[in-house]
Structure 1
Amino acid sequence: MSQAKVGVSCEATKLLAEAFTASLGDSVVTHEEFLKKKRKCKGNLFPQPLDISKLFELSYVSGPFGDKPADSVVIKVFAKLLSGEIITHHVKPDATVLDFQERISDQTGIPFDQIRLVFNSTYLMDYKATLQDCNVRNESTVHVYKQLTGGGGPLQLLVDSTLLDPPFDYDFSDMSDDGTKYYRGGYLYERPYGWKRYAIKVKDKYKDNLWLGPKGIRVDSAEGEWPVSYHGTARTPAGNIAEVGYDLSKGRRFKYGRGIYSTPSLKVASKYAQEFTSEGKRYQIVLQNRVSSDNLKIVESGDGPYWLQPDEAKIRPYGICIREVDN
């Protein structure tokens, strides 16, 4: 068992950059790699620090799944810019990706050819596809990237190490479950044995820190803290964690749909763990979250539970778990 040293190591940021590259499907580099690339481009390259919570946002679906709306229905779709600004669009489900991208261009002034749209971990590249084809439903959020071209030079995503919190890292990679039960927020907490946890800087980010609970190793819950869950960012043949969670919930007494799916089970989360390669070794990445128990819905399945939190503000990623897997 070992605690991380204060300060983000080059090895850690490189590993995270490669993990984010695999998860986003877009190049993410360290600050040092960015400087090297910029020199090669003779300065014609601009940094875009990657907010780590963006990785989480790009891989969940906050809008409902399933039933297709009638052709006459007008749906509300949110376009979220990198600045955090959200623009609401009222469109028909049969509007094409081309139509939607042109609307964003008209409203934001961003040239059409510099816009990249991401929904549910997928770039919307097929301009002929409809929003309905892409599973974009009422109140779904589509993320908007701006790719600079020509004289402006391209944007390069890079790991913003200032958003990491090394004093709270913890290395569970050589540890195993000894049967001790741990609880957080009144729910069983499955510690990430076999993984190394990199902490995200979230202390004092919100109005209080009660949701995190007190620092230190403890088995009992603390008053006001939130339970722990995990979220995989990869897509499987069956879909991602949000789509599968929704499918499991259909036909039950409550038809769940809108909200954020995660799981308290690492076994379940590992099914959706994004794999990537670094220095010839294979790794997996999952995100560790705190979830408010307010209105939390539990969807039971054969492999374990899925949690649905209807309010996306009440689930907060606070750690990144990475483990090496056999080749």
Structure 2
Amino acid sequence: MAVRMDLCLEALSALTGCRVEASAAESQLMPQDVVNIAALKQFYRREGLQELEYPSLGSLSLGGPDDEDMYSAPLAVEGAPPPEPLEGPPIKINPATFFDPRFDYDFTNVKDGDRSFSRGEERYVRPCGWRRVALRVLGYDGGDAWLGTGPDAWPVSYHGNRMDGALGVTAIRRGPALEGAEPGALEEIEPGPVAGETYLRGVYSSTLVGVAEGYCKRFRSRGDGKTYKVVLQNRINPEQRRQCQREGLWVVTVAEGSGPAQTRASIQLALRPYGLLLKED
């Protein structure tokens, strides 16, 4: 059974902080924009900014607490819709060009046990317990090998809205730490902008959906009154990430002094969404 479209739109609204609505016209947001906005809002909040300027959308407020559940106020009258917390004009997307139902998958009752999967020659831990709504992402510049299962494919990672350096991690990078070290050995890098800190400027994601779930967005659907969790399933560029000491955690760093356009480009080169994961809370 397909996931209800109204639920998908509410999930996108929760991720972006914008009221997302369906339209037959050209989409104002594409799947890459969703991960850009979701990731950058947390990043810029960490930087102490109050607004995020985004092309075609204008200024997006960063002032609200991101861990508040959307539509969480109690209903005053049974059957009445909860108050709408989102401000500004709605963002229109065309479901026919935004989603790709050919690749939807229901992992709700899947248990992989000892079964093993890989993407890009790295372990792929499937999002068991979740339902995936596939995003239409074929046709990036450079081809679609990043979405495959072979050696050129990118590994899978999961992003929750509140994942950032507050996880308390130090990043490490692949490469010989000392002369004579084995190829592929892990080398610790400077743990932050100030000596002794563990925070690295950038966007965090995990190879484990359970880690992302702990930092994900929750929202109450106006369609059925139930509360859902939403996580983004991405592919992460193995050349543009840094591994953290915490198992299964990666960071895509953003250089000091990067402007908004350069920051968005850094994220797009490294983190591409291909699935919207939903789970009843």
Q: Tell me if TM exceeds 0.5.
A: yes
Aligned to 2:169, what secondary structure does the other structure show?
A: helix
Q: Distance in 2 between matches of 1:164 and 1:186?
A: 27
Amino acid at match of 1:244: A
Q: Does 1:160 align with 2:94?
A: yes
How far is 1:63 from its partner? 6.6
User: Residue type matched to 2:170 in 1?
Assistant: S
Q: How far apart in 2 are the matches of 1:55 and 1:284?
A: 16
Match of 2:37 in 1: 58
CA offset at residue 80 of structure 1? 3.2
Equivalent of 1:296 in 234, 237, 241 = 241
Do 1:65 and 1:243's aligned partners in 2 also have CA atoms closer than 8 Å?
no
Scaled by the length of structure 1, the TM-score of the pair is 0.58
Displacement of 1:243 in angstroms is 3.4
Aligned-residue sequence identity (percent) comes to 27
Root-mean-square deviation (Å): 3.5
The reply to whether residue 172 of structure 1 matches residue 146 of structure 2 is: no
Aligned with 2:166 (options 240, 244, 255): 244
Classify the secondary structure of the residue corresponding to 1:222.
Answer: coil
5+ residue gaps in structure 2?
67-86, 173-187, 193-199, 254-265
Number of residues of Structure 1 aligned to a counterpart in Structure 2: 221
1:248-263 aligned within 5 A: 248-249=169-170, 253-255=189-191, 257-263=200-206
- Say whether residues 1:231 and 2:159 are aligned partners: yes
Using the alignment, how far apart are the partners of 2:56 and 2:104 within structure 1?
27
Query: Which structure has the bigger radius of gyration?
Result: 1
Q: Distance in 2 between matches of 1:270 and 1:63?
A: 18
Q: Is the 8 A contact 1:58 1:121 kept in 2?
A: no
1:53 match: secondary structure: helix
Cα distance change on mapping 1:78 and 1:189 into 2, 3 Å: same
1:309 to 252, 264, 277: 252
CA deviation after TM superposition for structure 1 residue 28, in Å: 2.3
Structure 2 matches for 1:123-138, cutoff 5 A?
Answer: none
Gaps of 5+ in 1: 33-45, 69-76, 84-114, 124-145, 148-154, 214-220, 234-239
- SS of corresponding position for 1:289: strand
Q: Deviations over 1:1-33 (max 9, x none)?
A: xxx7xxxx6x5321111112233333223349x
* Distance of 2:64 and 2:121 partners within structure 1: 31
Q: Do the aligned partners of 2:218 and 2:230 also contact (CA within 8 Å) in 1? A: yes
Compared CA separation, residues 205 and 66, structure 1 to 2 (3 A)? closer
Would you say the 8 A contact 1:59–1:121 is kept in 2?
A: no
Provide the C-alpha distance between the structure 1 equivalents of 2:155 and 2:113, rounded to a whole number of angstroms: 21
- Give a deviation string over 1:104-125, Cα, whole Å, max 9, x none: xxxxxxxxxxx633459879xx
Give yes or no for contact 1:13–1:159 (8 Å, CA) kept in 2.
no
Letter in 1 for 2:108: S
Cross-structure match for 1:198: 133
Shift of 1:295: 4.4
* Cα pair distance change 1:22/1:315, threshold 3 Å: closer
Alignment of 1:49-198 (within 5 A): 49-61=28-40, 79-82=53-56, 116-119=59-62, 155-161=89-95, 162-198=97-133
- Judged with a 3 Å threshold, the aligned counterparts in structure 2 of structure 1 residues 255 and 227 are, in CA distance, closer, same or farther, namely same
For the 8 Å contact 2:243–2:250, the answer to whether it is kept is yes
Q: Residues 159, 200 of structure 1: CA spacing in aligned structure 2 closer, same or farther, 3 A cutoff?
A: same
Q: Aligned partners of 2:248 and 2:157: how far apart in 1?
A: 10
Q: Cα–Cα, structure 1 residues 275 and 79, in superposed 2: closer, same or farther, change >3 Å?
A: closer
Partner secondary structure for residue 231 of structure 2:
strand
CA distance in 2, matches of 1:79, 1:65: 13
Amino acid of the structure 1 residue aligned with 2:136: K
Q: Is the 8 A contact 1:230 1:289 kept in 2?
A: yes
Q: Secondary structure at the match of 1:255?
A: coil
> Runs ≥4 in structure 1, deviation > 6 angstroms?
62-68, 120-123
